[in-house]
Amino acid sequence: GAGVSQSPRYKVAKRGQDVALRCDPISGHVSLFWYQQALGQGPEFLTYFQNEAQLDKSGLPSDRFFAERPEGSVSTLKIQRTQQEDSAVYLCASSATSGGDIRGDTQYFGPGTRLTVL
Amino acid sequence: AQSVTQPDIHITVSEGASLELRCNYSYGATPYLFWYVQSPGQGLQLLLKYFSGDTLVQGIKGFEAEFKRSQSSFNLRKPSVHWSDAAEYFCAVGAWVTSYDKVIFGPGTSLSVIP
């Protein structure tokens, strides 16, 4: 596709339910990032993939959060036993390169998934 | 630790007026700096970025930003604002982590434009 897509765009979950959020990055992009954006705040880093390898998961707020990218393209962010504090917009971004001498490679963002936990 | 502050939570300007959005960063090494814009229901879009060289950076949609190392600032400017510029603006710094840039965002400035 032309850009990063995310699905669903909106998700309402009851507290305690598990949810899965999908990200389709730009074709061929090596790097994939997940961010959490609370209402009125800037995006906060959750995790980073380089191809299928999850190189950094330091931003995941608890062990209820799990992300995967098994084939190095589509990624899924899973939240188990959702809590009200998980309500946020979850953003996915991809970039073409993996770093090296390409600093500050442009990250292209999807529209996000707005998760509301009741 | 790396951080970004945007002192203005919300700014209102008249259409046609000039605009300056403030950004201050904290980063020990040479910073890689970005400005992103987020319109309602849209993803973040990169306006411009600074790595090195000329400290005045030109971006899309008529925006520019100036890097001032002595002030740890990277303020965004536009000479004449259009109604379509109403959006949320985020300043960000890229913090190098072994093999990639972890982008750290500021809290954002919400821009309203009065016709």
User: Which CATH superfamily is B3-114 part of?
Assistant: Immunoglobulins (2.60.40.10)
- Map out the domains of chain B as residue ranges: 3-114
What pLDDT was estimated at residue A101?
46
| pLDDT single digits (tens) B47-68 | 999 988 889 999 999 999 999 9
CA separation for the pair B6, B22 (Å, rounded)? 6
The partner residue sitting opposite B102, judged by closest CB among A3, A40, A45, is: A45
Q: Is A4 on the interface with B (CB under 8 A)?
A: yes
Q: How far is A15 from chain B (nearest CA, A)?
A: 25
Q: Chain B within 8 Å of A68 (Cβ-Cβ)? A: no
- Nearest-CA distance A6 → chain B (Å): 10
C-alpha dist (Å) from residue B25 to A68, B4, B48, B54, B94: 32, 4, 16, 18, 10
User: Looking at the partner chain, which of B43, B94, B108 has a beta carbon nearest the beta carbon of A42?
Assistant: B108
Domains of chain A: 5-103 (2.60.40.10)
Count H helices and E strands in chain B, helices first: 0, 12
Collect all residues from B whose CB is shorter than 8 A from any CB in A: 4, 32, 34, 36, 41-46, 49, 51, 90, 92, 94, 96-108
Q: From CA B111, how far away is CA B58, in angstroms rounded?
A: 20
Please report the pLDDT score of residue A98 as a whole number: 65
Cα angle: A29, vertex B26, B100; to 5 degrees: 20
Cα–Cα dist A17/A99, whole Å: 37
Residues of A in contact with B57 (CB under 8 A): none
The per-residue pLDDT string of chain A (118 residues; one tens digit each, 9 = 90 and over) reads 589 999 999 999 999 999 999 999 999 999 999 999 999 899 999 999 999 999 999 999 999 999 999 999 999 999 999 999 999 999 999 998 765 445 667 889 999 999 999 9
Smallest Cα–Cα separation from B60: which of B39, B86, B78, B33? Answer: B78
Closest by CA position to B20, among listed B92, B107, B89, B114: B89
